[in-house]
Structure formats: structure tokens, C-alpha cells
Amino acid sequence: MEKGLVIRSTGSWYEVRLTDGTVSQCRIQGKFRIQGIKSTNPIAVGDWVDFNKEEDGTGVIRAIHDRRNYIIRKSVNLSKRSHIIASNIDQAILIITIDSPRTSTGFIDRFLVSAEAYRIPVALVFNKIDLLDVKSKEQLVKLIKTYREVGYETYEVSALNRTGVAAIKNLMKDKVSLVSGHSGVGKSTLINAVDVNLELKTGEISEAHYKGKHTTTFAEMFELNFGGFIVDTPGIKGFGIVDIEKKELGHYFPEIRALMGDCKFNNCQHLKEPKCAVIQAVENGKLPVERYTNYLAIYEDNEEETYRDKGY
């Protein structure tokens, strides 16, 4: 029996990297699909697995090791099921753009909530800062202020001009980093700037829709030449929350979590309850309205509300 790390998944085949750096093409043992795993992908990039080598040189995965953590979202095709984006990661890096395409705060907050639920640190990387006009720069400043005050690390970069790339390299060094974001935000360009050896495909922006062309089809893990690994993911259009109970949601907003003890009721959901410290903080301008609005939208499971283009 061999042990290895899943570095790529194409749906039916998995590339598994052994400790000596060699890669085996493996398929899954049938019983995995009936073990009550509700995700569309029972094995994800980042999983450690045990497999047997076959005579033709391929492998059959027999067992999966316990996951330390994972990032999960609703499956695009089957809303009642989930899709594990990657597992066993040290941090997530969310690439955000103010324009071309615009990343909504609803998308950002859904991603952050999912990461918080599995105790995965997130760094917010604002890309394409070289393209911003005066109004967009004001929006950038406002967003950075909001998320820094909450406690998230933020970075400003231009992957094209290599502005801020050194800081991202330092952030990724010797860690397993999931890199995510909408199509067109420049994920592949940034990854290539961080490590020129990778040469990932990049796609132009469609002028008609300001959306990026999909250049990554499946999540894939790459070793960085300066130490560490990155997991490149397909561009995500939406981020549906799964496996989080409504009563727990406030715990995954750090600024709401900090105020919970001051609410009158122990089971306060911060909706319309009297003497709610969270609602008072919103009214007093001490808690960002956008974050609270997104909390309500996630609580009500209203994806459309958080993605509606209503500015920042």
C-alpha cells in the first residue's frame, strides 16, 4: 500500500504525489461512492490517501486519511449537495477586484464565513490596483478599512505590474495556500508572477460581460519553487454556504462574535431582538452595515441579495 497526496482531480482520475515526488494516476475504489459522502467529489485536492499499484502502473485508492480542515460550498449542479474545493490547507487567499470583474461583498463574506467555520485563516488580496479610477480607489480604501478592522489581512497588488508580489510570496512561503476568486480576477496571472516556473494558463476578460474566461477546470496543487504549495481553483461564480446552522452563523463573523456577550439574550440571533448589542453597533456606526446586511442574507439563505449589484 502506498501513501500519497492528491494534487489534481479530473472527476474520475486523481493525480497522487508520493513523498519522493513521483506522481501516480489513480482511480477511486467503487465503495467510496456509497459511504454516505454527500459531496460531489468524495476525494479532494489536498487529501492524503492510501492506494494500491496495479500492473499497468495506475493505482486504486483504498482509503482516505482524516482531513484537518477543508473549504466547502454548494455544488453548482446539484444544490442539495456540496463540493469540497480543497482540504488540509494552511490558509486561503481570496483574490478580489473592484472592477473588471467586480467582486461583491456578499461573495467575500460567504467565503470568509465558510473559512471561519473550519478555522482556516484568510488573506484578502485586492488585485488590478493599476486599473482603478478615482471612484474605484475610494471603494478600495473603504473595503480595506472594513476588513482590516474586522481582523483580516489585506494586500494590494497588480499581478501585471508585479506591484506587491513580493509580499504575496512571503505570505505563501512554506504553507499550503488555497487561491480562489471569481473568473477574471487574475488568479493565474498572480500565481505566475509569484512563481515564474508554473506558467499557468491565463484568460483575457470578455469585454461584453467583464467576466474572465475559465482557464482552470479542476482544482490543482502546485509546488512552489521557494517552498510551499498552492491550490489553484476554478473561477467561482457564487459561493453557497453549506453545513452551517443559523444559530451558529454569528460566530463566523468576528466582529459579531466579539459583541455577542453584550446582547440581552444568550440565544440572540441579532435580527430584531431587544437590547441586541450587534444591532446597536450597526446603528451607532461601529459595525459595518454591509457586513450586517450580508449576515442577514446568509441567515435567510438569500444568495441573490448578497450578490445583487448595489454598490459597496
| CB contact at 8 A, 111 and 86 | no
Q: How far is residue 33's CA from residue 141's CA, in Å, rounded to a whole number? A: 47
For the four alpha carbons of 111, 116, 117 and 118, in that order, the dihedral sign comes to positive
Distance of alpha carbon 69 from alpha carbon 185, whole angstroms = 26
CB within 8 Å of 52: residues ≥ 6 apart: 1, 2, 59, 60, 62
- What backbone phi and psi angles, to 5 degrees, belong to 90? -85, -30
Cα(first)–Cα(last) distance of the chain, in Å?
A: 53
The pLDDT value recorded for residue 97 is 96
Q: What's the CA gap between 281 and 271, in Å, rounded?
A: 13
Amino acid at 107: F
Residue 39 to residue 80: CA distance in whole angstroms: 9
Q: Please give the C-alpha separations between residue 78 and each of 26, 40, 41, 115, 123, in angstroms, as whole numbers.
A: 25, 8, 12, 21, 29
Residue 100's region, left for phi above 0, alpha for psi from -120 to 50, else beta, is left
pLDDT at 297: 92
Sketch the domain layout of the chain as residue ranges: 2-64, 70-232, 246-307
Say which CATH topology domain 2-64 has.
Answer: OB fold (Dihydrolipoamide Acetyltransferase, E2P) (2.40.50)
Among residues 84, 48, 53, the alpha carbon closest in space to that of 64 is found at 48
Q: What whole-number distance in Å separates Cα of residue 91 and Cα of residue 94?
A: 10
pLDDT at residue 21, rounded to an integer: 87
Pairing between strand 211-212 and 220-223? unpaired
Which pTM was predicted?
0.85
DSSP labels, the chain? -EEEEEEEE-SSEEEEE-TTS-EEEEEE-GGGGGSS--BS-SS-TT-EEEEEEPTTS-EEEEEEPPPS-EEEEE-SS-TTSEEEEEES-SEEEEEE-SSSSPPPHHHHHHHHHHHHHTT--EEEEE--GGG--HHHHHHHHHHHHHHHHHT-EEEE-BTTTTBTHHHHHHHHTTSEEEEE--TTS-HHHHHHHH-TTS-----PEETTTTEEPP---S-EEEE-TTS-EEEE-PPPS-----S--GGGGGGGSHHHHHHGGGSSSTT--SSS-TT-HHHHHHHTTSS-HHHHHHHHHHHTT-HHHHHS----
Provide the pLDDT for residue 238: 58
Given a contact cutoff of 8 angstroms between Cβ atoms, the answer to whether 109 and 299 are in contact is no
Which single residue is written with the C-alpha cell 486599473?
131
CATH architecture for segment(s) 246-307 = Orthogonal Bundle (1.10)
Residue-level pLDDT at 41: 72
Alpha-carbon distance 58 to 52, whole Å? 8
CATH topology of domain 70-232: Rossmann fold (3.40.50)
- pLDDT block averages, 10 residues each, the chain of length 312: 92 89 88 56 90 91 91 62 85 95 93 90 97 96 96 95 95 96 90 86 43 53 94 71 82 96 95 96 95 94 50 38
